Chains A and B, each alone.
Chain A
Amino acid sequence: MSKRGGGPLLQLTLWRLRELMREPEAVFWVFAFPILLALALGIAFKNRAPQALAVAVQGTTGRADSAVAALGVESRLRVVALDSVEAYRRLRTGRVALVVVPGDPLTFRYDSTREESHLARLLAHAALQQAAGRRDVRDVRDVTTAERGARYIDFLIPGLLGLNIMGTGMWGIGFGIVQTRQRGLLKRLVASPMRKSEFMLGQVLARLVFLVFEVGVVLAFGALAFGVPLRGSLLHLSVIVLAGALAFSGLGLLVASRPRTVEGVSGLMNLAMVPMWVLSGVFFAWSHFPEAMHPFIRLLPLTALNDGLRAVLLEGAGIGTTLGLLANMAMWAVGSFAVSLKIFRWS
């Protein structure tokens, strides 16, 4: 064994691992990038709920002053008095949600397609009526919750994890292979008795070793910095991550099967990944897209991976409930692996 320096599969895997580890850029994209992105988005969306809505009161007359005072009682509104030109300019550009025009009748101007405008109108209406002497006829008590798992960051972290598994899987494998081809190394390798399937397997195994750290780092960060929960079992999580990694390794092999240049493979890679960035529910739920698109979106491997990750992390789903998603990813993995072996260009 020592004379052969380990089996070929071990050597092929070590080769890729060494290349990945000795490339500082790769380490950045794999570990630092998802954390920085999560941090930035996490901070941006952390205090989303209690943001005050901007409301403009038109004019500077005494009536306007009393309207400003009446609205100031409502803490969920931020009130400014503006002349009519400036007030409408800000309404048009979305910098105020509502323009209040004092007078008789009192006028509310707003864009009826904007949700926050409706909310601002309700709040402003209540505040102004109350200031004018309206009395509520029933007593009301508010009870609020801030449940972990329901915040935007809880939605986002599994999405970023899925995105990272897709990106590093496809880039890591696709780039490495095309570079090997470009350097004439693939041809040199097939001139030796190396098994082609072991070469491909070595690429995938090296990815899986990296994956353990990659997923661990992102999840640990999510848990420590934002308290993102892991409600399901670690085993179930591992199965989903593994299925996703295999699906995207397969796709990475597939896009790298033919191109002779790094530019060529980059194009194919973006063609495959950009639709999933948008459609597969990374930053917002894919259910926002029209119903007619749902069957297609559900087919995408990143959709399956993201849904699976959210199910296990946020809902604590058992493995039985994600079998369909696992089957989807397995299908992508097996299908793309088989096709790439067939069409692969070895020189």
Chain B
Amino acid sequence: MTPDAAIRCRGLVKHYGDVVAVDGLDLEVRPGECFGLLGPNGAGKTTTVEILQGLLPPTAGSVEVLGRTWDRDRAELRQRLGTQLQETLFPEKLTVRETLQLFRSFYRRGMDVEDALAVVGLEEKRTARVKQLSGGQRQRLAIAVALVSEPELLFLDEPTAGLDPQARRQLWEIVLALRARGRTVLLTTHYMDEAERLCDRVAVVDHGRMIALGTPQELIASLGAEHVVEFAAADGAALAPAALRALPGVTAVHAEDGTVRLTVARIHETVPALMALVRDRAIELTRLVTHHATLEDVFLHLTGRSLRDE
């Protein structure tokens, strides 16, 4: 008997003194999906997942995990969940294998330590001290520790924050393999490409509130346009937003710091028209980029701010 939702929370609120970290969040994570919480730093992602894991008491709201509540079924839930927290430094003097053995010993059921090493590709590092691991390897160890109990529900809080691109790719492969095997995962990130690539559904959060929810495709489609044209003019020469909006295929115009972003449905119509406009006004372009719309554009569209520069 599986409950219809792996996680369900209603009206979740968390205050730290005057700071409102989470501001009335409703979430539902379905069994077998990889659900993403996407938002800038300080959006309340860590606070939310720590409340969902029974590590912080909420100021208000209700939480149900695997059909259970923390008040009544704490011990059982601890056995069934796996987690990678945002800021855990494992003991530096233990080896990779010893660290896994330590955590494995807390669980009644779970996988062999060697198998957990294999899942994250750390077999050759089994006797290395944690101190000797790279950032990416430490993060893979954290995920192996989270997996060693074969949890029914896995929490990953910013698993790739601060890693170089290659290490991020390796972690993505691990998460994608988990997803392919039908694991239920709640993942937080402030990288839109990560959410787009890894998650079945994404909740976009900002200032402790959910501002959008859907599959990455749905969210991008909600822009009403699939492409983005970005340009900047020399000497800050400006084009009137009204003139830009009148161009064929443009659905939205956003100007910030001298850079103009057009959300565009039919790029083959917009670009020639834009070029003609620029030539007519004798404006010199210093930059012109077009790309497929991403979750980044969704966030920008919803908040007027960019995800990264927080």
Given contacts A11-B101, A184-B85, A184-B88, A191 and B53 within 8 Å (CB-CB): yes
Closest partner residue, chain A, to B100 (CB atom): A5
Docked CA distance A5–B145 (Å): 14
The answer, yes or no, to whether B291 is at the interface (CB within 8 Å) is no
Q: Is the CB of B87 within 8 A of A184?
A: yes
Docked CA distance A8–B78 (Å): 15
Q: Give the residues in chain B near A180, CB-CB below 8 Å.
A: 91
Q: Give the residues in chain B near A193, CB-CB below 8 Å.
A: 75, 78-79, 106-107
Q: Is the CB of A347 within 8 A of B55?
A: yes
Q: Is the CB of B104 within 8 A of A4?
A: yes
Min CB–CB distance A28 → chain B (angstroms): 16
Q: Is the CB of A15 within 8 A of B112?
A: no
The answer, yes or no, to whether B69 is at the interface (CB within 8 Å) is no
Mark interface residues in A314-347 (1 if CB within 8 Å of B CB, else 0): 0000000000000000000000000000000001
Which residues B106-143 have CB closer than 8 A to chain A?
Answer: 106-107, 112-113
Docked CA distance A122–B87 (Å): 74
Q: Give the residues in chain A near B303, CB-CB below 8 Å.
A: none
The answer, yes or no, to whether A141 is at the interface (CB within 8 Å) is no
Closest partner residue, chain B, to A20 (CB atom): B93
Q: Give the residues in chain B near A19, CB-CB below 8 Å.
A: 91, 93-94
Q: Is the CB of B85 within 8 A of A15?
A: no
How many B residues touch the partner, as a band? 20 to 34
Given contacts A4-B104, A11-B101, A193-B79, A23 and B91 within 8 Å (CB-CB): no
The answer, yes or no, to whether B83 is at the interface (CB within 8 Å) is yes
Given contacts A184-B88, A191-B78, A192-B78, A5 and B105 within 8 Å (CB-CB): yes
Which residues B65-99 have CB closer than 8 A to chain A?
Answer: 75, 78-79, 81, 83, 85, 87-91, 93-94, 98
The answer, yes or no, to whether A7 is at the interface (CB within 8 Å) is yes
Given contacts A191-B53, A192-B78, A184 and B94 within 8 Å (CB-CB): no
Min CB–CB distance B144 → chain A (angstroms): 13
Q: Give the residues in chain B near A11, CB-CB below 8 Å.
A: 101-102, 105
Q: Is the CB of A185 within 8 A of B91?
A: yes
Docked CA distance A191–B145 (Å): 12
Mark interface residues in B136-158 (1 if CB within 8 Å of A CB, else 0): 00000000010001000000000
Closest partner residue, chain A, to B89 (CB atom): A183
Closest partner residue, chain A, to B95 (CB atom): A18
**A7-B105, A185-B91, A187-B55 known, 12 other contacts, Cβ within 8 Å:** A4-B105, A5-B101, A5-B104, A5-B105, A11-B101, A14-B98, A191-B53, A191-B78, A191-B81, A192-B78, A192-B149, A193-B75
A-B contact pairs, 9 of them (CB 8 A): A4-B104, A5-B113, A18-B94, A184-B89, A185-B90, A188-B88, A188-B145, A192-B78, A192-B106
A-to-B contact residues, CB < 8 Å: 3-8, 10-12, 14-15, 18-19, 22-23, 180, 183-185, 187-188, 190-194, 347
